[in-house]
Amino acid sequence: MMRPPAWALPESEFRLVRSGVPQDVDGIKIGAPTGYVVCCDCGRGARNIDWINHGPNCDSPAAEN
């Protein structure tokens, strides 16, 4: 059986960043997802979950990749 990618494991937690400014500022409605994903453990993020450069002390299983 193949192991799922680390970011798909239940113990890996990420959050989608939502816009907090008016649409005329960033082109995205307030409260809508911006497309930016953040690791809940180390707080680092990127536009793609695979591109996150996790912090040196990150305990997320996804940091091992």
Asked whether the beta carbons of 18 and 32 are under 8 A apart, the reply is: yes
Length of the chain: 65
pLDDT of residue 6: 78
Q: Where are the domains of the chain?
A: 6-50
pLDDT of residue 4: 78
At 27-64, the pLDDT tens digits run 999 999 999 999 999 999 999 998 999 999 998 888 87
Under DSSP, the state recorded for 17 is E
Selected residue with higher pLDDT from 60 and 7? 60
pLDDT of residue 65: 55
Query: Whole-model pTM above 0.85?
Result: no
